[in-house]
Each structure stands twice: as structure tokens, then as C-alpha cells.
Chain A
């Protein structure tokens, strides 16, 4: 169904242009707010751009983007399979806590053993969080969105509880877990960081994110499992009729999705975080993942690009205070982008409808003209010629549908 598309085709596709427009509009609305607040737009956006275009800045962007790429992949994967993983937040939290607990309790293990163990623990915890919700859905038909939102809070308070346990709690005054073992950190060596002038928290977690991205793409596009999951996503009744175990598919999808978010949590705590604080508010890595998946068109590669974009906004945005602009500007920009992406779907439908009507009118006109001009004998030849003339619209619509 899906043929390979060149980069140019992707860039010139309607969907891509809509996203680009949404991003530009996001910045425009942000500029509007800045102007109303009396902050120089040039100063604020200049700061944003400056802070993410140095070597150090880029390394920071990658560090900040890594967890969002994973939660973005998680949500994107769930979108492909017809469930909406709004629970990435909770899966991220239990994943990061599982990795932290492993990294604190087994601190004497050597690096090559401890790091994979932390990853596994995080993925298992995230997958478990997904499976619980999946079971509630498949066994008792409990709406997964509601269950997930509640499970986000269960994860939140569970994490706070674990962070306060003796043996895990920080030995100093901080309301956080202990710092995880040096052997569980994914940081680059101090020497490399100093030599290249990178961020002090630069880590190789991004490589794990890249591998995860390729795996997700492979599962969705190249395996029977992916085909089944997509089939369930498109129409579960048709899939069931086709002999696919729908319940099993939903569980698998949520488990993989949860494992991805959990892995994101471990990358965050093993890379930049080093410990988990007792939260007073949700940190929003999972919700950020929803934004990333939306901007990235639920495509694994799109999630990478969107994750980097989101990371750049988050890191660059943290410096906005320095030029007198509030960091909340980033939320305004991101919110606007999501808004315009969401309504672009409406535009596409609307545009598609108008185009179809226009084509129909054009066809009628043409038919009338042809009928008036030409003798009835040649009428038989017309349909092919006409199809070639108005062929652009259906093809384009097909592509839009695909991207969704």
C-alpha cells in the first residue's frame, strides 16, 4: 500500500506543509504575546536561537530531547495501533523509578551489567503499566484513556512513596532519591565532555533512542505483528473478521508502548537526572510525548525530528528568563502548534471537499462543452482523458490519508 517516498516528496506533501505552517503560526502567536508583554521579539527568539546553535547548546538539546523522543515513539506507536496512550506519563514515571531503584540498590555491579539491567527494569515496569490498563480494557471494557489518566496518578504517588523509603531516600536533606550509582549513568566521560565543550550532562542515551526508533519502524512496517497491530488500529472488527486476535493485539501494543515510555524514563534518570525528586507536580515527559507524536505525524522518524524540536524549545526556553521573557512562552508556542495541527485535519477535509466539488463542477462543464462541440461518436474516448486531467486530487487525498 505504501510506496517508498523520496525526501522531496515528503517535504512537499500537504501534511508536512501544514505542520510547518502550524509551527510558524506557533511562533507568530508567541511573538504576539511577547509584543503584548512589551518584551522584544527579536531578543527572545534570538536568545532561543542562540542557545541551541552552539556545540554546547546542541548537546543540551539532544540531552533534553532524548526522553521526549522515547515518549513520542511510545505515543506514536499507540496511535498506529488504534489506542491512545495518554498513560505515557505514568509509564515514564514507573520506568524511571524502576531504573533508579535498580541503580541505587545494585550499585556495586559493574557498568556493563548494571546499565542493561536498569534498561530492562524500566522497560518491564513501563510495559507492566501498559498491560494493566490493557487488561482492564480487554477484560472489562474499561476505557483505556480514563484508566491511563488514573494510572498516571497512581504512578505519581507510587514514585513519591518509593522515593521516601529508607534505603532509597536521599541521605542528605533533599526530598528525592539517592543519586544513582555512577555505574548506572550513561554520561560521556568527563574528558570527552571537556574536550568537545559539551553539556556536563551529555550522554549516549540518544543512541538508545535511535535504536528504539528503528525498531519501532521495523515492527510497524516490516513484521506480521506490526501488520496485525495496524489492522486492529484501522478497524478492529474487520481485523477480528480477518482472524487477528484483537485483545492480544491491544495488550501487545500497550506493552510495547509502555516499554518505550519506561525506557525513556530510564534514559532520563541515567543520563541527565541522576535522581528522582518527590514530585509536587507531574513533570510532563509523557504529555510532551503526545505533542511530539502529533508533530511527528505518528511516524517514528517524525518523532525523532519532533523530539529534537521539542527538546530545543525546552532547553532554549529555559533561558528566556534571561531576556525578561517568561518561560511559559514555550507552552504558548507548543500549545498553538498542537492547536493548528489538530485543526489542520479539518482544513484537509474541508480542502478535500472543496477540491472534489470544484473537480466535479469542472467535469460537468467539460462534459457539456465536449458534448456540444464533438459529435457523439467520440464520446467513448473521453473518460480516460478526463481521468488524466483531474488525477491529481485523488492521489493527493490518498497521501493525506496515509499520513494520518
Chain B
């Protein structure tokens, strides 16, 4: 008896759940035909009021330009390029309502392909893959779907494909500028550097930084550490404390999440930290002197706009000092005026082509990470 009662009860609950699921059928089927007006979670009541006002300006039949972004395993809140890229896309969608932007987070390495295919199946106009970890998955998907447009950040191995735009950044230029700052403000003539991983792309950060430091302070010692990990906050913290013990008074990190630990350690010890990718000043406003900015947001916006305008081009798109793709962070209150002046001069020299920051390990013997 009791069993039957329990069974009926659970059946009722299941049916209730199924009914809930069933109810969504019409609303999820509708977007297939009216996707153009359907905002992310637009309530049905909103549609009639908005449709007439928007229709004349955006010309009713114009479909939305759908931009999909696939993060690497860092996730969308990584305080680094995934986040920057997504913020750029959100800003773009906010200022131009003809863009529809969505992201998918990857939990494991194997999710890249699944997420890219989700966007392909849903007919997105452009798929932005954030980070060189997605290079293989992007290449495979781009070859299998030659009509689908892709953009990938920080990778140039897909440059030969006709449907992939490779958004590259001159990391060494921004790193060189922060190196100048570090070399100028250090008093102990000992500076630190924490790198997330040793690879040709990542080494550019170290080479640029060390070149900059040694240019203004030739007898400076640069303590270097390879965390071999982009998500190891305690590891970054330990490495930075170790450097501080050895006398470092400025530490630069190019290590994603690991760098959070570096900045925390610097904040606690009251020495300067230099951030990377975004303006990391908010993490420790008193002790982040500057950050080597990489405008992933601008790059994502540019390529999205190009898709909308119909002038998408494949191949390498280089973002450097000359087009504002990399630069010092806008927060510059802690940098002494004379240092800032020096940085601006060097920046002008690089843009004018009078000086080239080395990109090879051979040109920077002081760089010891292998």
C-alpha cells in the first residue's frame, strides 16, 4: 500500500517535471523563426514594444550578427584574456544591438571541439576561440567547415586557413615597456619575473621585460621563475615570496591565475607588482604600479565588426603599440613622471621603427627560463 502511494507520488512529481519541460517547447521552438528579435531572455511582453521602434532603424529583415566565443579551461572569469575578450564583446553588443554575443566555457581540454561545434550547429557568424590551447580544435573545425568564419587569439598556426583570422599581440613590446618601469623604480636592483609556462609565445613576455629592465639598469638582477601552470595561485604566492626574500622589489608576472598569488604576495610585502593582459590595478591598487595591457577586447570587437561589414580577412592580424593593441595600462598614478616620459619616448621609437624589441631567446642571454 505504502509502496504504491510512494510510487504514485513520485510519478506525479516526474510528470510535473516533464510538464515543466514540455511548457518550454513552444518558446524554444519559436526562436528558430524569430531569432532576430529574440534577446537572451527577452520576456514576450517586451517584444511588441521594442519591435516597432527598432524595425525602422535596423531594417527589419537584417538578421543579427551572431558572435560565439569559446573560452579555454580558464573560464570566463579568469581575470585574463577570456574575461577581457568577453567584456569587449559585451561592450560591443551594448553599443550596437545588431550583435548577439554568447560564450561557452570549456571545463576540460576535450570540451573545445564540443563547444566549437555547438556554435557551428547553431549557425553563428563568427566563432572566437580564446587562446592557443584551442589551436588544434580550431584547425580541425575550420577544415571540416570551410564556410564557417573563425578567429583565434594568440595563435598563428592556423594562419594558412582561408577562414581563420589569427589575432596576434606583440607581447614583447608591452613587456619591454613595463620592464623599463621596473628597471627605473627598483632600488635593490633586484626585480622578479614569474612566467606561466615556457613556450615560444610565453617567452616573448620574459624577453621583452628583461630587455627593458637591463636597458635602464644594466647591473640589475632578474630573478626568474617558471610556474608551469596558469592556475596555481599558492604556487605564484610562494614564488613571489621567495623572490622578495632574495631582495626583489618589483615583480612582473605573465602567468594568468598564478599571477594572482604573485600580486597578493607583493601587496602583503608592500613592494611593486606589475600586472599583465588587463589593467590589474584593482587587484591591489596601492601596489600594482602598472600592467602590460593586451587589448584582446579591441581585437575581438574589430574582428566582429569586420564580419558584420563583410570584410573579414583570414590570416594574421597583428596588434602592437602602433595600433594600440598592446600598451601600458591606463592607471599610471604610481609611475614617476620622468619614468613615464622615458616610456613614452621608447614607445614612440618603437612605433617609428627606430627600435625593435628582440623576440628571440638568443638576443636576450639574461633570460634563463627553459
Report A's interface with B, CB cutoff 8 A. Answer: 11-12, 14, 17, 20-21, 24, 27, 39-43, 45-47, 49-50, 56, 60, 160, 164, 170, 172-176, 179, 199-201, 268, 272-278, 280-281, 283-284, 314-315, 318-319, 321-324, 327, 392
Q: Do residues A318 and B107 form an inter-chain contact, with CB atoms below 8 A? A: yes
A-B contacts counted at CB < 8 A amount to: 138
Q: Do residues B133 and A174 form an inter-chain contact, with CB atoms below 8 A? A: yes
Q: Which residue of B lies closest to A9 (CB)?
A: B3
Q: Which residue of B lies closest to A325 (CB)?
A: B41
Please indicate the chain A residues that have their CB under 8 angstroms from the CB of B132 in the complex.
Answer: 172-174
Q: How many residues of B contact A (CB 8 A)?
A: 54
Please indicate the chain B residues that have their CB under 8 angstroms from the CB of A41 in the complex.
Answer: 20
Q: Do residues A173 and B201 form an inter-chain contact, with CB atoms below 8 A? A: yes
A64 to chain B, nearest CB (A): 8
B144 to chain A, nearest CB (A): 7
Of the listed residues A50, A172, A275, the one surrounded by the most CB atoms of chain B closer than 10 A to its CB is A172
Q: Do residues A173 and B157 form an inter-chain contact, with CB atoms below 8 A? A: yes
Please indicate the chain A residues that have their CB under 8 angstroms from the CB of B108 in the complex.
Answer: 273, 277, 283
Q: Do residues A60 and B114 form an inter-chain contact, with CB atoms below 8 A? A: yes
Q: Do residues A318 and B105 form an inter-chain contact, with CB atoms below 8 A? A: yes
Of B6, B111, B122, which one neighbours A318 at CB under 8 angstroms? Answer: B111
Q: Do residues B136 and A179 form an inter-chain contact, with CB atoms below 8 A? A: yes
Of A49, A173, A176, A272, which one neighbours B24 at CB under 8 angstroms? Answer: A49
Additional A-B contacts beyond A200-B144, A277-B133 (17; CB < 8 A):
A17-B10, A20-B13, A20-B14, A24-B13, A50-B28, A173-B135, A199-B114, A199-B117, A201-B113, A272-B110, A272-B113, A273-B108, A273-B110, A277-B109, A278-B197, A280-B232, A318-B105
CA of A52 to CA of B228 in the docked complex: distance in angstroms? 37
CA of A235 to CA of B48 in the docked complex: distance in angstroms? 69
Q: Do residues B102 and A321 form an inter-chain contact, with CB atoms below 8 A? A: yes
CA of A272 to CA of B107 in the docked complex: distance in angstroms? 14
Q: Do residues B121 and A56 form an inter-chain contact, with CB atoms below 8 A? A: yes
Q: Do residues B199 and A173 form an inter-chain contact, with CB atoms below 8 A? A: yes
Of A50, A164, A327, which one neighbours B107 at CB under 8 angstroms? Answer: A327
Please indicate the chain B residues that have their CB under 8 angstroms from the CB of A200 in the complex.
Answer: 113, 117, 144
Of A42, A199, A273, A392, which one neighbours B27 at CB under 8 angstroms? Answer: A42
Q: Do residues B21 and A46 form an inter-chain contact, with CB atoms below 8 A? A: yes
Question: Per-residue CB proximity of B15-28 to A under 8 Å, as 1/0?
Answer: 00100110111011
- Whether A175 touches B197, Cβ cut-off 8 Å, given contacts A21-B13, A45-B20, A201-B113, is yes
Please indicate the chain B residues that have their CB under 8 angstroms from the CB of A170 in the complex.
Answer: 136
Q: Which residue of A lies closest to B131 (CB)?
A: A174
A-B contact pairs, 16 of them (CB 8 A): A12-B3, A43-B41, A46-B21, A46-B24, A46-B25, A172-B136, A173-B200, A201-B114, A272-B110, A272-B114, A281-B73, A318-B104, A318-B115, A318-B118, A319-B104, A324-B41
- Whether A280 touches B230, Cβ cut-off 8 Å, given contacts A42-B24, A179-B136, A318-B115, is yes
CA of A273 to CA of B106 in the docked complex: distance in angstroms? 13
- Whether A43 touches B24, Cβ cut-off 8 Å, given contacts A56-B121, A199-B117, A280-B230, is yes
Q: Do residues A280 and B21 form an inter-chain contact, with CB atoms below 8 A? A: no
CA of A295 to CA of B120 in the docked complex: distance in angstroms? 34
A203 to chain B, nearest CB (A): 12
Question: Per-residue CB proximity of B117-130 to A under 8 Å, as 1/0?
Answer: 11001100000000
Please indicate the chain A residues that have their CB under 8 angstroms from the CB of B73 in the complex.
Answer: 277, 280-281
Please list the 5 inter-chain residue pairs (A to B) with the smallest Cβ-Cβ separation, ordered nearest first: A46-B24, A280-B231, A277-B109, A273-B110, A42-B24
Please indicate the chain A residues that have their CB under 8 angstroms from the CB of B199 in the complex.
Answer: 173, 175
Please indicate the chain A residues that have their CB under 8 angstroms from the CB of B231 in the complex.
Answer: 280-281
B26 to chain A, nearest CB (A): 10
B117 to chain A, nearest CB (A): 6
Please indicate the chain B residues that have their CB under 8 angstroms from the CB of A274 in the complex.
Answer: 110, 136
B223 to chain A, nearest CB (A): 22
Q: Which residue of A lies closest to B199 (CB)?
A: A173
Of A164, A201, A273, which one neighbours B109 at CB under 8 angstroms? Answer: A273
